[in-house]
Structure formats: structure tokens, C-alpha cells
Structure 1
Amino acid sequence: MTSTHRRPAARRTPEPLPRLIATDLDGTLLRSDQTVSPRTVAALAAAEAAGVRVYFVTGRPARWMNVVSDHTARHGIAICANGAAIYDLHGDRLVGVRALDPGDALAVVRALRAELPEVTFAVEHTRGYCYEPDYPLLPDWTRPGAVSAPAETLLASDIGPVLKLLVRHPSLDPDGFLAMARQAAGAHAEFTRSSSVALLEVSATGVSKATTLAHCCSELGIDASEVVAFGDMPNDLEMLAWAGTSYAVANAHPEVLAATTHHTASNDEDGVARVIESLLERRPAP
């Protein structure tokens, strides 16, 4: 008579939790309908309950943060406008600004107009936004009181610190547009993109999601190795490279998928929540 001995199932080695989770919003944490799923809300709450800080790191302006402001009960900090602003979600106030110099912004406008006359501009600033008459507006931008004028006029007026320029072209391939703009005006500012259309986002030199996140983490005494980051578009690349552990969602831009060693499910399949749940399951026993 023979007997069969089965090896016990391998157990996952407990791993320490990250000290901070940094996640992009659109295309990453938010579903395609711009909502935060119940599963993701629960995962964020569980992470914070376990002592992990959650930072939203987004290209969005602060005024568009209400979609997540109710889902960070303890910390409530967002890095907005691709690193140009640090925003207290619960205090509803900016606590840090890394502004684009108006002279550099004007140099960008002139250089891009000379290269691509069809471009139009909008300006995100600490008091709100303004735009050129021909700039294609999103529904949220049709508020009373928003100023419309040529970018040169807007940048010469007293609009307050400039967070970023937005640049639209009616027909160019988005990645090609980004490459052309960097070549034409990259000496004056940082260029990136996070949209499926030919829309560029322009910040001060040295300002990105990565540099502002690194600054925040330094103030908290958190090392890059203790950060887990999530993203999907080119404006996330520097942040994903900086963080000790990075994940691209399945729907990410090809560059982001190629640059990250970890992938998760798409934004519509709660990819961020799945990773957070897995991290919490693998933490050491108390």
C-alpha cells in the first residue's frame, strides 16, 4: 500500500504595508463614468484605517476634486494640476503652489503660435480659469465670470499665480503634438498630456506630479521605497518612475504599460482597489 504526501500550500510571505499610496484619478482610480466605485471607496478606507496615507495626484484643478473629497476621511490631501498645487480637500484650500512664471508662459504661447498657428490656449490659475475665445470648452467651463481674451492679454493681467497652461490643437496626433511642443518650447516649461485629444498641459520647469509628491513625502519623512503609485497616462510617467512600487492599469497608455513592472486591472474593473486589497491581505500579523 502506498501513501501520498501532499505538500502544504505555499503561504504568502507577509510584507510591510507602504506608508503612502499615490494614485492618479481619471482613467486610473475613477471609472469611465467619473465615479468612485463602492469597492474602491472601501479599499481606500481600509488603507487609511491601516495607517497608510492616500494622496490623489492628478492633472485636475482643485475645483474638480469634489468627486473624491468624501473618500479620504483622515488625510484629504491632493496634488493637483500635475504638481502645481497642493490642496487640502477637507479645508477646501490650497496649501502649496508651484506657479508658472508669466514670462515663461508667454514665451510658450509665442513659440507655439509661431510653430502651430491653429493652437488655442486656456490658463488655470489660483483664482479659477480663463481662456481664449476659440478654445473648446468643457461643460464645467461655462460658468459666469470666466474671462475670455487672447492668451497674451490674459497673462499680462492680474489673474493671480498661473498653475498651468492648456494648449489645444484641432487635429494633431496627441503624442506627436507633445513631441513638437517640447521641441519648440521645452526650454521654457514642462509639457505633458493626459487626454485622448490633442490637449497639452504646461507647468513650470521642474514641476511634475513626481517632484511635488517627492517634496510632500520628504516633509513626512517617507522614502520613495515606501510609496506605491498608480497611473495611466504620460503625465504619470515621472511619478511612476519615482515611486518604489508602481502599477499601470490595464487601460493605460502604451508608454505607461511599458515603463511599469506591475500591471493591474483596468479602471472600470477596480484595478487600484484590487492591489490595495492584496497589499492589506499580505501585511504582517500584529
Structure 2
Amino acid sequence: MKRRYLTDLDGTLLQSNATLSDYTVRTLTEALEQDVIISYATARSYQSSTTATSQINWRYPVVLYNGSMLLDPLTGKVLGGHWLGTDVSNEVIELGRTMNLAPFLFALDGDDRERVLHEKLSRYGDTEFYASRPGDPRFAEVEHLSCPPDYRTMIVTYIGRREEVEPLFRAVADRYGPAVHLHFMLDNYIKDHYFLEISHPLANKEHGLKLWCEQVGCQPEDVTVFGDNLNDIGMFKRAGRRMAVANAHRELKLLASEVIGSNDEDGVARVIEADLRGYNEQD
């Protein structure tokens, strides 16, 4: 039976410095050349994830923006997704404005191109996030942020210290409840800063896994998933084999089939290599 793997990127496949080790690149490349189905599910965009993993020639659909969008890396075609309504997007932006917070708006324009709209950046978390993506053509500064009527919102993202962002998290949760998906997480790279992401209620990795399985022709129980953080819980609830890296959040480890080596120990690649070796020996 053909093996299928879906891995998170940051904190899981990527090392702590947000790069891929030579060993991981070599192992995944060899596996893909043997027709093993491997792809990733990430909170990143396609632009950002491609930059971080450019050494690997991905050939199967990728799950982006925490499940908001599925994309074919060979053609660049959007294969599906779940979009937050324009009215709700703008209401959330205005709610943040009452707390002196302005987000990044991640959306698709009318031509299915990724866009990131934002107001003038001045807060540390925002400027650090922007600086980590030099020359990224998606970003555009606007005087007063709102979602254009022909855009489809993937995620509204706020970045800040916990005491800055948590009140907005609670306010959005109180106002919208299950009508939105909220993800509130400590960032891997900006010290002491949190990400608050607001998206469609089905825009999460659980439903991203479901869409991915439909594209590659399998069921979630046929898939081995890898993860490290709370946004991977949805995948872990549905997948048949669930691998948490050693540096994973305690809650994710409780859902795991197995705890493997950390992201800095090539945990994902070592599992795939061992599986492939065992599979070939059986042949």
C-alpha cells in the first residue's frame, strides 16, 4: 500500500532556524522520487512555505494558512478552501481598531493571487514579521485597512504580546463563537509575541487534511501526520498515525501514536526513511 505523509513545517519539519537540514532534503527527495506521497500542512502562505522549503520539489497538494486553502504546487492552481466572509472580516478589523490593533489581512484577489494588506507598520511584532519576508510581493500597505469586496479572506492575523492580543481574542470569541475559527499561539520566532488568527470555522488543519485526502485519493486514517503545536490537533484527531516531535506541545503529545525526534534531530525524515527501508525490505 502506498504510504502517505502530511507534515507541519515550523517546529516540525523545519529546524529551529526555519531551515531544512541537508539530511531532511535528501531523505524527502529520495522518497518522492520513489512515488511516496509527501506534502505539508502549514500556517504559512505558499510564498513563505515555498521559500523555506525550496530545496524540495513538492508534487502533491499543499495545505496552507492552517487549512484555509489547498493548492497544487505544480500548477499554482487553488484547489479549494474556506473563506471568511467579507462582512465578518471587516467587523473583526474594526473591533481590533477599538483596541489600537491593526492586523495583516491574508486574502486571495479576484485572480486567485495571494495578497497581504496592512496599514503602516510601527509595532515591534508586525515589523519583525514583515522584515522576515524581504521582497515578498504579496504585501501592500494601505491607508485604512478593509477587505475589498472581490477578495476572499483566508486569515486575519494580529501579532502582539499576550496582554495586548488576548483581550481581542476574548472579544472575538464572545461575539462570534463557533462562527469563526480562532487560533491563539506563541510565535516560534518573535520573542514573547503571540499570533491571533481569525478565519472561517472550517479553516483548520482537520478539514485541510480532509480536503487533501480527497485530492490524493485516500482516507485520513491512511495518513501519517507530523506536528508540534496546538494548530496540529485537528490533524491528530483524524489521522491514522500521529507523530509528535519531541519538542511538541504537551497536549499534542497526549494525542500522538508516538513521540519522535525533535525538529532539530530530523525526526520527520528519520521516520520516513525507516518506513521506506522497511517497505523496501518487504518487497
Please indicate, yes or no, whether the TM-score normalized by the shorter chain is above 0.5. Answer: yes
Deviation per residue, 1:104-141 (Å, 9 max, x gap): 22333355556xx1433110012310113355232126
Match among 115, 119, 138 for residue 101 of structure 2: 119
Instruction: Give yes or no for the alignment of 1:27 onto 2:11.
Output: yes
Match among 38, 43, 47 for residue 54 of structure 1: 38
Segments of structure 2 that go 5 or more residues without pairing to the other structure are: 109-113, 188-192
CA contact (8 A) 1:17 1:279 kept: no
**Match of 1:207?**
203
Superposition pairs for residues 152-191 of structure 1, below 5 Å? 154-155=146-147, 157-158=148-149, 160-172=151-163, 181-191=172-182
Secondary structure of the residue that 2:179 maps to in structure 1?
Answer: coil
How big is the alpha-carbon RMSD for the aligned residues of Structure 1 and Structure 2? 2.7
The worse-fitting range, judged by mean Cα deviation, of 62-71 and 172-181 is: 172-181
User: Letter of the aligned partner of 2:119 in structure 1?
Assistant: E
Instruction: Give yes or no for the alignment of 1:130 onto 2:124.
Output: no
CA contact (8 A) 1:190 1:204 kept: yes
**Match of 1:238?**
234
Match among 259, 263, 270 for residue 263 of structure 1: 259
Deviation for aligned residue 1:76: 4.1
Instruction: Give yes or no for the alignment of 1:108 onto 2:95.
Output: no
Following the alignment from structure 2 to structure 1, what is the Cα–Cα distance between the partners of residues 53 and 60? 9
Following the alignment from structure 1 to structure 2, what is the Cα–Cα distance between the partners of residues 241 and 96? 21
Seq. identity, %:
25
Secondary structure of the residue that 1:166 maps to in structure 2?
Answer: strand
Following the alignment from structure 2 to structure 1, what is the Cα–Cα distance between the partners of residues 37 and 180? 30
Deviation for aligned residue 1:43: 1.9
**Match of 1:68?**
53
Secondary structure of the residue that 2:212 maps to in structure 1?
Answer: helix
Deviation for aligned residue 1:169: 3.4
Q: If the length of structure 1 is used for normalisation, what is the TM-score?
A: 0.81
Rg larger for: 1
The worse-fitting range, judged by mean Cα deviation, of 175-184 and 269-278 is: 175-184
User: Letter of the aligned partner of 2:199 in structure 1?
Assistant: S
Equivalent residues, number: 264
Following the alignment from structure 1 to structure 2, what is the Cα–Cα distance between the partners of residues 177 and 195? 15
Following the alignment from structure 2 to structure 1, what is the Cα–Cα distance between the partners of residues 83 and 71? 14
**Match of 2:282?**
285
Deviation for aligned residue 1:158: 4.5
Deviation per residue, 1:5-35 (Å, 9 max, x gap): xxxxxxxxxxx653x1000111110112221
Deviation for aligned residue 1:259: 2.5
Following the alignment from structure 1 to structure 2, what is the Cα–Cα distance between the partners of residues 142 and 71? 21
